[in-house]
Structure 1
């Protein structure tokens, strides 16, 4: 796995002559944290962050991106591993890391969220989704949820067979669930 597998594309970029106002609108419209700044041929020349744009909008001093962008910019090659990408993002406190091809043209970006998606096991994400669904159903956290290989194990007390069927049906609605196993909690032991 490398940057090509992790990065978000298509990538939105701006040229140095784009106005601060237009860059701000693009950033807001798409929910990005930063925009790579490229020459007309696509070569990376800088990056403009939401913070840069916010300051420029408040001060109303700069009118174009080239006056506020950070240059030179840290970037990663298409061949960078997830570990290398994470090291660059964390080591330089970046929210957005442009990915460039051999010519230096921007072909994608890697965000912290992209890295978290790659580094977080699918079973963990599935467990959180199922737990959230069951908590919403019961209005309390009644069951423990574990996932292995897409099979969801729900452990805890069930009121009756009808509730077991409902819980099973609910869990099966979550995309990615391969199977469901219920492990009812044992009731209190009665003294004889």
Structure 2
């Protein structure tokens, strides 16, 4: 399997000149934990993640090291900490040294990058522009499909899967970043996480309306956004 087989698309992004508040709102609304930062031409210039917002002065979580440690570390570290906790623009806190792959990169290469760089997501580029993102969640969905032997078994299954994905990308409510669609022998299997039970119903309706679909199997897990409480699919 390659990056193109499991990557999340479309990709939501921000600009370096966008405010931190805007980036935070985008993550919350899209239910994602990281955003590529692109320039006017759409080229990747950085990456901003939820980890960049953990130490903020507004929440009282900014780093406050003892004076003796600050002396040993030097003024540069303190200046860097201050920037991260008080920055107002995405470009002031984004990571610029971003590990990327192309769409034909094997999953083994992506895993090696994640382990070596200690990152949770890797942007997928084509001609310098972001066309997708592979996250740890995407890898887990791929693993679930392999373990359950739920990969498409025919051209017909692959066509059904493509039709479903095409229809999903037209909608603004679909949880593409946290779900995976696999088709086997005309049966659609819905995997992943949803944050609203109404998404479950809509996903099943959308998949069931595709020509050639014999049945829809629901393996989705519902997560309550505030508490993090989760439930498995209801019994049939």
Query: TM-score, length-normalised on structure 2?
Result: 0.50
For structure 2, which runs of at least 5 residues remain unmatched after alignment?
Answer: 63-84, 151-183, 186-214, 219-236
Name the structure 2 match of 1:175.
217
1:80 to 1:63, Cα distance in 2 relative to 1, 3 A: same
1:102-132 CA-partner distances (Å, limit 9, x unpaired): x21001101101011113325278xxxxxxx
2:129 pairs, out of 80, 99, 105, with 105
Does residue 114 of structure 2 align to residue 89 of structure 1? yes
Q: Which segments of structure 1 move beyond 3 Å, counting only runs of 4 or more? A: 56-60
For structure 1, which runs of at least 5 residues remain unmatched after alignment?
Answer: 126-148, 151-172, 177-192
Q: CA deviation at 1:90?
A: 2.2
Name the structure 1 match of 2:162.
none
Name the structure 2 match of 1:18.
18
Alpha-carbon distance in 2 for matches of 1:12, 1:80: 21
Between 82-91 and 14-23, report the one with greater CA deviation.
Answer: 82-91
CA RMSD, Structure 1 to Structure 2 (Å):
2.5
2:97 pairs, out of 69, 72, 77, with 72
Contact 1:34 1:95 in 2 (8 A): no
Alpha-carbon distance in 1 for matches of 2:103, 2:92: 28
The residue correspondences of 1:42-191 to structure 2 (distance < 5 A) are 42-56=42-56, 58=59, 61-101=86-126, 103-120=127-144, 121-123=146-148, 175=217
Contact 1:12 1:35 in 2 (8 A): yes
Q: What count of residue pairs does the alignment treat as equivalent?
A: 131
SS in 1 for 2:35: strand
SS in 1 for 2:17: coil
Q: CA deviation at 1:55?
A: 2.6
Contact 1:33 1:95 in 2 (8 A): no
SS in 2 for 1:175: strand
SS in 2 for 1:52: helix
Name the structure 1 match of 2:212.
none
